[in-house]
Amino acid sequence: MSSGTGAINLTREEIERLATKRARLRAKTVGWDFTMAIAAYSILTAVIILRFEGFGTEFVAPIAILGLAMILFIHRRRGEQLFERYYGEELLELKEHSQGEKAEALISSPLTPRETEVLGYIALGYLNKQIADKLGISEQTIKNHISSILRKLDANDRTQAVVMAMRYGWISPQVGESSEFTPSDRD
């Protein structure tokens, strides 16, 4: 599979598998759009008005459940459509670049620069308080960043997130060498 220059020639199956991973990551990072938020707010408003007007729970509850089910169905369908679109885009890009850099490094990070920075400190073994002190922000903000990182990467814990980020090249496995994070920063 490897050539003499260190490039990787990907098979069709590998390209399809990698395109699927990249498309899922992109589709997952798309949250509720404005339309879905308005629809949810409208259903909530309708339920409140109906209850205020004296309609009983036996009438209002099914309306609320049907409305929320409709929103979830539309949101899921939209996610499937985005996945299909992103898959096509990723497949084309990967076919064009099937030789060259390491395949996993082609997956772009769904993390913000600050989340990547926090994850770099986690990789060095920093505790939340230490990261907060280092970055000059609150420990709660660090916890919020970590929750966002875990959600975006679909990781179960900090270790899994770090391993995934290193695997895809979003943070360096040799944090002391090629990253701004050095072991001496821990003190």
Same-domain pairing of 52 and 86: yes
- Residue 44: which of 20, 64, 17 has the closest Cα? 64
Q: Are residues 149 and 100 in the same domain?
A: no
Confidence of residue 114 (pLDDT cuts 50, 70, 90): very high
- Give the pLDDT of residue 25: 77
123 located within any domain: yes
Task: Kindly state the average pLDDT of the residues 102-130.
Answer: 81
- pLDDT at residue 126 above 60? yes
pLDDT for 155: 83
Closest listed residue to residue 25, CA positions, set 107, 112, 115: 107
At residue 47, the pLDDT reads 87
- Structure confidence by residue, pLDDT tens digits, 128-176: 999 999 999 999 999 999 998 988 887 889 988 888 888 777 787 554 4
Residue 5 lies in a domain: no
CATH code for the domain of 125: 1.10.10.10
Residue with more model confidence, 105 or 149:
149
Q: What is the DSSP secondary structure assignment for residue 78, as one 8-state letter?
A: H
Alpha carbons within 13 angstroms on the beta-carbon side of residue 121 total 21
Which residue range is the domain that position 150 belongs to? Answer: 109-186
* Residue ending a domain, choose from 105, 129, 164: 105
- Look at residue 179 and tell me whether its pLDDT is greater than 60: no
Domain boundary among 79, 105, 131: 105
Do 31 and 96 sit in the same domain of this protein? yes
pLDDT of residue 30: 65
**Do 58 and 83 reside in the same domain of the chain?**
yes
Q: Cα separations (Å) of 4 from 52, 100, 133, 147?
A: 74, 11, 46, 42
Residue 3 lies in a domain: no
The whole-number pLDDT of residue 97 equals: 64
Which domain-ending residue is among 105, 136, 161? 105
Distances (CA, A) of 91 to 47, 54, 101, 177: 44, 55, 16, 33
Average pLDDT of the chain, as a whole number: 76
> Looking at the 3D structure of the chain, how many domains does it have?
2
Instruction: Supply the pTM of this predicted model.
Output: 0.44
Report which of residues 178 and 69 the model is more confident about.
Answer: 69
Residue 53 lies in a domain: yes
